[in-house]
Amino acid sequence: MPGTRLDPAAMARRAAQELFSGAVVALGPGLPCQLPGEIPDNGVWFLADSGVLGNNGLEANSLEANSMDGNTRIVDAGGNSVGLLSGGSFTGVVDVSGILRGGHTDIAVLQPSQVAVNGDFVHWTNEATGDLMAPGSAVDMAYGAAKVVALMPHQYPPGRSNIVGTCSLPVDGAGQVNIIITDVAVINIGPSGLELVETAPGWSADDVVAITDAPLTISPNLKEMSFQVPSLEMPNKVYSNAVEALKDVPEGATVNVDGFAGPGGMAHYLMVGLRDVGVKGLELISNTAGIARMSSFGAPNIIDHSILVENNQVAKATASYPVSPSVSRPTAFEEAYQRGETELEVVPQGTLAERLRSGGAGVAAFYTPTGAGTLLGEGKEARTIDGKDYILEMGLRADFCIIRGHKADTLGNVVYKGTSRNFNPVMATTARITVVEVDEIVEPGQLGPEEIVTPGLYIDRIVLRPADFSAYL
């Protein structure tokens, strides 16, 4: 006789072994909601599609707790009441979908009702619900996460295998599941099908094969499941200075540079750092390409893109205001462009913002009315939708991003001040490495969860702008 089946807490502890420090972990409804309660440390970002980042363990039996005061509860993907970790924050479902789809989610933990040998899965529905589907965010999680963990009972209802050769119901995700963790076994899904790699205490490989309605190969390294929760901690994101935070920017890198049209909301200190690193061939994505120097009026000159241009570091700019309004006072970028030293791609401001938002949110391309029928639409696909003309614009991503916040906590949660918000939050979502410069670094929990604009999962590095730093040349 095989051993007993694992309880949900033990299954969650085994699933926790798939996580790593600082990972962004999306949890679907059902068993995955057990994970935060089994991990005592604040070492990963749990994400629920209800709009909570950093959800903590379940509060006492909360599915029945729906009531008139429901508005004040924090709910997870399963509708359970949950706590919030220090440094957690709230967001809306559209931003959650961007986190899931835009390559920001490392691991998704789902509870499918069926998984097939090729990684197809059915979410939640079964023969009783028939033709209905209940995808919720499971489809977004599965298609967006780097790794998909199916956490599910091996059989449900009793006697019926949830692991199958081919799904008997329409699938919610095609070929998306990477690993199955059940109440009796751990099974990897690879190109050659299912491989049994672990069994629960008291269960032999034969016991598992006997209740699995799909071919299993037995791993030569088959072992017993363990339930030790790994020790996880958030990586340190605070760098000592701007050069330290930017010294690995490679030659030819694409760099998002925040800012609007003046001193506010620009990462001046990081800009100086990027100049001092000296890396060449940069492609800047920014609203302007630097503003005109005002020295002829005796005013001090603000630090901006021009210091990179003058240092011969800029190969290209993608911008909506690349030129000075005054012919007699061209920007450094304009002069370099006229000399043939730089390339330029001009993009209307809203299109630039939307392209960045799409790049960050996993939208490959979108149809926008802006610029249809003008030079800006030339060479782009045109399409009429419901009688209106649109052009196809592509999502935009970058290698690095330098942005300017007001305050950040050590987890990377950022708040802005006034109009300095501008491009910062959207640019933060689009780069492989995002570096933020702030006036003040605080401990997790010191920024209100309703107040956080850029959640820490988007921020890789934090630099304090020195108190004596001047933004003027």
Partner 1 sequence: MSTDPENQSAKGKLFPSAQAALADIADGASVLVAGFAGSGVPENLLRGLADTGVSGLTLICQGAWLPISGGFGVSDLVATGQVEKMVSPMPFHPEAGGPVKELWKSGKLELEVVPQGVLAERLRAGGAGIGGVFLPTGAGTRFSEGKELRPFGGKEHVLEFALKADFALLRAKSADTLGNMVYETTGRNWNPTMAMAAAVTVAEVDQVVERGGIDPELVITQAIFIDRLVLAAEQQEIS
Pick from 137, 199, 256, 288: which binds partner 1 (CB under 8 A)? 137
In whole angstroms, the minimum distance from the beta carbon of 119 to partner 1 comes to 11
The residue (of 299 and 392) whose beta carbon lies closer to partner 1 is 392
**Nearer CB in complex with partner 1: 78/273:** 78
170 is a contact residue toward partner 1 (CB under 8 A) = yes
Out of 72, 192, 240, 328, the residue judged to bind partner 1 by CB under 8 A = 72
Work out the angle between the directed axes of helices 349-361 and 93-101 (0-180°, nearest 10).
Answer: 70
User: Is 92 or 340 the residue whose CB approaches partner 1 more closely?
Assistant: 92
Instruction: Tell how strand 185-190 and strand 193-199 pair up.
Output: antiparallel
Which helix (H) or strand (E) segment holds residue 337: the answer is: helix 332-338
DSSP letter, residue 161: B
- Residue pair 472/303 in contact by the 8 Å Cβ criterion: yes
Q: Nearest distance from residue 48's CB to partner 1, in Å? A: 8
Of 51 and 201, which CB lies nearer to partner 1 in the complex structure?
A: 51
- 382 binds partner 1 per the rule CB under 8 A: no
Minimum distance from CB of 470 to partner 1 (Å)? 25
Q: Which of residues 412-441 bind partner 1 (CB under 8 A)?
A: 415-418
Nearer to partner 1, 145 or 302 (CB): 145
The stretch among 31-39, 88-96, 189-197, 271-279 that binds partner 1 (CB under 8 A) is: 88-96
Using CA of residue 373, residue 377, residue 379, residue 384, what is the dihedral sign?
A: negative
For tokens 């929990």, what's the residue? 445
Part of the chain binding partner 1 (CB under 8 A), chosen from 235-243, 275-283, 354-362, 462-470: 354-362
By residue count, the chain amounts to 473
- Which of residues 134, 209, 323, 441 is near partner 1 by CB under 8 A? 134
Contact call for residue 49 and partner 1 (CB under 8 A):
yes
Closest CA to 96 of 55, 36, 43, 38: 55
| Residue closer to partner 1 (CB basis): 72 or 240 | 72
Taking the least distance from each CB to partner 1, the nearer of 220 and 387 is: 387
Q: Is 100 in the site for partner 1 (CB under 8 A)?
A: yes
- What are the C-alpha distances in Å from 390 to residues 112, 186, 349, 380, 382? 39, 49, 16, 10, 6
Instruction: Please give the C-alpha separations between residue 109 and each of 102, 127, 231, 240, 253, in angstroms, as whole numbers.
Output: 17, 23, 19, 36, 34
To partner 1, the closest distance from the beta carbon of 337 in angstroms equals: 29
CA distances from 247 to 110, 282, 310 (A): 39, 14, 19
Look up residue 212 and give its amino acid.
Answer: T
CB atoms near residue 359 (< 10 Å): 24
DSSP state of 95: H
Q: Which is nearer to partner 1, 24 or 332 (CB)?
A: 24
Total residues contacting partner 1 (rule CB under 8 A)? Answer: 74
SS3 432: strand
- d(CA 440, CA 435) in angstroms, rounded, equals 14
Q: Is 373 in the site for partner 1 (CB under 8 A)?
A: no
Interaction pattern, residues 275-294, with partner 1; x per rule: CB under 8 A:
--------------------
